[in-house]
Amino acid sequence: MAIYRADTSHGVCWITGGGTGIGRQVALDLARAGWTVAVSSRVEDPIEPVVKAAAGLTGKILPFYCDVTDEAAMAATVDAIETQAGPITLAIFNAGVYLPVHAEALSMANFRGTYAVNLFGVLNGLVPTVARMQTRTRGHIVLVGSVTAYFGWPTLAAYGATKAALNNMAEALRYDFEKMNIRIQVINPGFVDTPLAAKNTHMMPYLMSVEDASARIVRAIGKGGYETTFPRRLTWGLKFMRMWPHSARFAFMNFATRWRGYPLMPGRKRE
Ligand SMILES: NC(=O)c1ccc[n+]([C@@H]2O[C@H](COP(=O)([O-])OP(=O)(O)OC[C@H]3O[C@@H](n4cnc5c(N)ncnc54)[C@H](OP(=O)(O)O)[C@@H]3O)[C@@H](O)[C@H]2O)c1
């Protein structure tokens, strides 16, 4: 039997980090397709314009304010969305941060901050949402990962590790979710032109617009395939590189990023 695929007539979509970047555009595109979209963000400023931008679309956007690192607040947000708007049939865990890691200034705060949002922030939403989906015997979950999950990149020791963890976790959960009629998908985008990507001062090959990325994500949700990664001209190459011996990959990444040309900066301030 095919696993459940979310439909606008069954309930609402919840997207975290929907006030900016990819999340904002996906929220608007889903509202255009008729979805009622609960958008959560920490602050009011970025969400109010999204609500306004959705005026006139077939669906609508409802704002909720919540920090994904706050476990109790995330459970309360699930409750608030379901009370005000209806059952969450599609949950997109998209909120994420990129804090560059420089090995000469390793800091626990950096790793804790990244894991708190990118991994535990997802779990804070996933756990209460899945509990509800389980009682309804259907649901659809989407995790936003990254191609940086495939192998280590300079400065991405924390970010890439959280995205690899998300990929592994989703794959492991899928076996039981299938029995629970809950679909889980992972979207691993390449580089997308957003405030998060703007923090990366190094190479971003095949940088895409948020509009293009969102169109691909919305299409992927409709199709329901387990992993979606784009653009192919970048991501198929990266998947191939995953099979290389480490020595070849280190050599290629050093060459492609010109990383050996970046000096260490002893005394660099710890973040
Ligand atoms: N841009 C890329 O090249 C790229 C590539 C692959 C994957 N991704 C992934 O795509 C997702 C969206 O990123 P983006 O590129 O669209 O960047 P973005 O515009 O910076 O969006 C990140 C969102 O996460 C939210 N967020 C961060 N910390 C949060 C917290 N503690 N609580 C609640 N929300 C929080 C932010 O919301 P507020 O600050 O408004 O609360 C913001 O809306 C992330 O998971 C990112 O890792 C991005």
How many separate domains does the chain show? 1
Element (H, E) at 170: helix 159-179
Q: Domain for residue 268, yes or no?
A: no
Q: Which of 171, 15, 155 is nearest to 95 (CA)?
A: 15
Which whole number is the average pLDDT over 45-59?
Answer: 90
Q: Which of 91, 1, 75, 76 is nearest to 38 (CA)?
A: 91
Q: Domain for residue 265, yes or no?
A: no
Q: Domain for residue 269, yes or no?
A: no
Q: Domain for residue 271, yes or no?
A: no
Kindly report, residue by residue over 9-49, the tens digit of the pLDDT.
Answer: 999 999 999 999 999 999 999 999 999 999 999 987 778 89
Query: Whole-prediction pTM value?
Result: 0.97
Structure tokens at 10: 């069954």
**CA–CA dist 145, 208 (Å, integer):** 16
Q: Domain for residue 190, yes or no?
A: yes
Ligand 1 centroid to residue 244 C-alpha, Å = 30
Bond preceding residue 63 cis, omega within 30 of 0: no
**Domain that residue 130 falls in:** 8-260
What pLDDT does 53 receive?
Answer: 93
Q: Domain for residue 267, yes or no?
A: no
Residues touching ligand 1 (Cβ under 6 Å) are 16-17, 19-23, 41-43, 46, 67-69, 94-97, 117, 121, 144, 146, 189, 191-192, 194-197
Q: Which of 180, 151, 167, 163 is nearest to 226 (CA)?
A: 167
For the chain, give the percent of residues with pLDDT over 90: 89
Ligand 1 centroid to residue 266 C-alpha, Å = 30
What pLDDT does 186 receive?
Answer: 98
- Provide the β-strand partners of residue 197: none
- Which residue is closest in CA terms to ligand 1's atom 46? 96
Res. 151 pLDDT band, cuts 50 70 90? very high
Say if residue 203's pLDDT is above 80. Answer: no
Q: Domain for residue 189, yes or no?
A: yes
CATH number for position 25: 3.40.50.720
Structure tokens at 198: 């703007």
Of 15, 22, 201, the residue with max ligand 1 atoms within 8 A of its CB, to mutate for a pocket test, comes to: 22
**CA–CA dist 117, 111 (Å, integer):** 10
Q: Domain for residue 204, yes or no?
A: yes
What pLDDT does 263 receive?
Answer: 85
